[in-house]
Amino acid sequence: MNRRNPKRDEALNRYIDIIGGGPAGMMAAIIAAGKGGRVRLWEKNGSLGRKLLATGNGRCNFTNQNISLDNYHGGDRILAGGILDNFGLESTLEFFEGLGLTYYADSRGRYFPRSNEAPSVLFCLEQEMERLGVEVNLRSEIVALARTADGWEVRQRGHSHKSDAVILACGGAASPQFGSTGQGYEMASKLSHAVVPPEPALVPVMLAGNWFHKLQGLRMDLRLTISRDGKTIFEIIDEGLFTHYGLSGPLALKASRMVTGPGLECRINFLPYINETEVITQLKARRETLASRLAKDFLIGLLPEKLGLTMMLQSSLNIDSSCREISEQQMQVLLINLCRWQVNVKGLRPFKEAQVTAGGVDCRQIFPESLMSKKAPGLFFCGEVLDVDGDTGGYNLQWCWSSGYAAGNVAAEYVMKKQ
């Protein structure tokens, strides 16, 4: 049975409708209901938080110790920075502590529930919504929104509901297998809001060529350097996973928004922790030490076996000759291929494999403190539907908590002020 929220009595006839039962929508519902709003949450799926349950490989990396604007991307960094400053890491941890969640941070600063189970986070959110009297409607798709003289009309197929404020929190286009359809973009567009074209982000990268097929399944730390006109514009060292189509793993996900575009040059360093002077010194020493062995074994012990053999072949070395026959010129070619291997990016994997969406509702049309539309009073946005996306590591969920807090808080104030 729900415990009564006395604040809500002040707003019994003032409805806040939230479209989307993901993390941002649930946060907005809790905050709005806690401030006295009468909240209806609409979710087209049969359960809440489906994508939330998949985050962190099912462990739910729900925020990060190192929250910084540098970890976020999109068209309006000032808006994102203000929202994150207003409800950041400490506020998020305090919020979840209040719901009974215990947690820990790993060596990379990522926060997880102590249970290491995403359902723990979802359970806390669902219980708090129940306590506050949020009306949760599952299998309830909202197909359109329309402005009325005194508020909003929230439309289902064959039904409509009057509302005083609407929060659009229906996510982006990434991971459609969890229910994301990009429907929020269409709704916003029909209400005269510009939408930055959505693209997959935090997504594996497809490479041109056939050399990487032989490395499928290989995980290792790599350095990826991206340059344009000879100037480095992005560089990262992280774990990469070679696949049949190219490159996945944290390195590829973090670099995915940077690797496509005209005039880019992408290079991989397979020995990211050794400078080139040391690499050539080691190669020459190996040539002497392994002089009588076949060249196909030259890099075993320095690199994983299948990568070493692939690099020897890509460097046009005769792998059936002896190591002592490797010339100085061949050594230089091998050095360049090991430390500055040029890769050609063919494209990104589809939305189904993306963790998040780049693009969304243009933030220039949104008031930065409240996330209310400048075009349509009483319409708020939060979460992935906006043109804000974060790096992998809990940053996107932090954006959901922060933006959900802002939208829910101001939406409740908005309806309470209505006469």
Of 296, 330, 349, which residue sits at a domain end?
A: 349
Q: Are residues 39 and 144 in the same domain?
A: yes
**Is residue 254's pLDDT more than 60?**
yes
Amino acid at 166: V
Q: Are residues 252 and 212 in the same domain?
A: yes
Of 349, 367, 395, which residue sits at a domain end?
A: 349
**Is residue 300's pLDDT more than 90?**
yes
CA dist 61 and 91 (Å) reads 16
Q: Are residues 15 and 136 in the same domain?
A: yes
Domain carrying residue 63: 6-201+355-417
In a domain, 192, yes or no: yes
Q: How many domains does the chain have?
A: 2
**Is residue 105's pLDDT more than 50?**
yes
Residues 205/56, Cβ–Cβ less than 8 Å: no
Average pLDDT score over residue span 86-113? 98
Q: Are residues 21 and 89 in the same domain?
A: yes
In a domain, 1, yes or no: no
Task: Kindly indicate the confidence band of residue 383, based on its pLDDT and cuts at 50, 70 and 90.
Answer: very high
Q: Are residues 120 and 248 in the same domain?
A: no
User: Residue 12 has what pLDDT?
Assistant: 57
User: Residue 3 has what pLDDT?
Assistant: 43
In a domain, 155, yes or no: yes
Q: Which residues of 217-248 are buried (b: 16+ CB within 10 A; e: fewer)?
A: ebebbbbbbbeeeeeeebebebebbbbebbbb
**Is residue 248's pLDDT more than 60?**
yes
- Computed over every residue of the chain, the mean pLDDT equals 94
Amino acid at 343: V
Average pLDDT score over residue span 347-366? 95
pLDDT digits (tens, 9 = 90+) for 151-189: 999 999 989 999 999 999 999 999 999 988 899 999 999
Better-scored residue on pLDDT, 357 or 5? 357
Average pLDDT score over residue span 62-68? 97
Q: How far is CA 263 from the centre of its chain?
A: 26
Average pLDDT score over residue span 117-141? 98
Tokens encoding 386: 């906006």
CB-based contacts of 417: which residues, under 8 Å, 6+ apart? none
Question: Phi and psi at residue 98, in whole multiples of 5°?
Answer: -65, -20
pLDDT digits (tens, 9 = 90+) for 191-225: 999 999 999 999 999 999 888 889 999 999 999 99
Task: Kindly indicate the confidence band of residue 270, based on its pLDDT and cuts at 50, 70 and 90.
Answer: very high
Of 302, 324, 349, which residue sits at a domain end?
A: 349
pTM over 0.85: yes
User: Residue 370 has what pLDDT?
Assistant: 96
User: Residue 349 has what pLDDT?
Assistant: 95
Q: Are residues 38 and 182 in the same domain?
A: yes
CA dist 346 and 259 (Å) reads 10
User: Residue 419 has what pLDDT?
Assistant: 55
CA distances from 68 to 85, 100, 251, 394 (A): 9, 26, 19, 12
CA dist 265 and 62 (Å) reads 34
